[in-house]
Amino acid sequence: MSPDLPAGVERRDFDGRERLATRGETVYGEPRDDGGWRAWDAGRSKLGAMLELGMDTGLDGGEGVLYLGAAAGTTVSHVADFAGPTYAVEFAPRPARDLLDVAASRSNLFPLLKDARAPETYAHVVESGLDCLIQDVATRGQAAVALRNRRFLASDGRFLAAIKARSEDVLEAPDDVFDGVLEELREEYEILDTRRLDRFHDDHLAVVAEPLESSGDDAR
């Protein structure tokens, strides 16, 4: 049996098809019904794909979230619709401009034009002890980003990531790339579940993890 969806995420009917949806202002041209529910496109969102595939993300709704690699806000807008305070890190100025518009209608969404490899540059803004760290940076060194940002996560928090194989190495077999990334993640995280997202996103691995008890507020 699939785990429950977080409160604030529902399966609703759009043009005769049941789709994931959250309640909020539209962001990327997705359909919205009369009740204010907007479809969450799993083909454009790795977290959406994880929920669509029935992965147990541990999300209940209302969590404090740090989201790394927010881009123009497609996924983080849905997250902010059902979560609590949501910090969205993006280092490219152009998508970050669109992210500001997305945040304008969401008082719990805080965009940060920052480099996720340098968490010390936003540690004064982002609270620690967060319930969830979500990562979709699609850049080389994805495990290193996860290890550096672990400091913001509560000891019982969840780490949810989409690892893109081609961002690490375009020539290496994706499974080998994923093995290497998971090995690095195990320095500070216990891996709870992994799933290939190929039905929605080629050569991506979804990871659900929690911090190891001994890891945490170090000087990374």
Residue nearer to ligand SAM on the CB measure, 40 or 189: 40
Give contact residues for ligand SAM (rule: CB under 6 A). 45, 69-71, 74-75, 89-92, 95, 115-117, 136-139
CB-CB neighbours of 175 under 10 Å: 12
CB of 60 to ligand SAM, least distance (A): 21
Q: Report which of 150, 115, 109, 156 is spatially closest to residue 133, judged by C-alpha positions.
A: 150
CB of 1 to ligand SAM, least distance (A): 27
Q: Report which of 200, 192, 164 is spatially closest to residue 20, judged by C-alpha positions.
A: 200
Q: Which residues of 102-212 form beta strands (DSSP E)?
A: 109-113, 130-135, 153-164, 189-196, 204-211
Residue nearer to ligand SAM on the CB measure, 108 or 139: 139
Residue nearer to ligand SAM on the CB measure, 116 or 153: 116
Per DSSP, what are the bridge partners of residue 194? 207
Residue nearer to ligand SAM on the CB measure, 8 or 142: 142
Residue number of the CB closest to ligand SAM reads 69
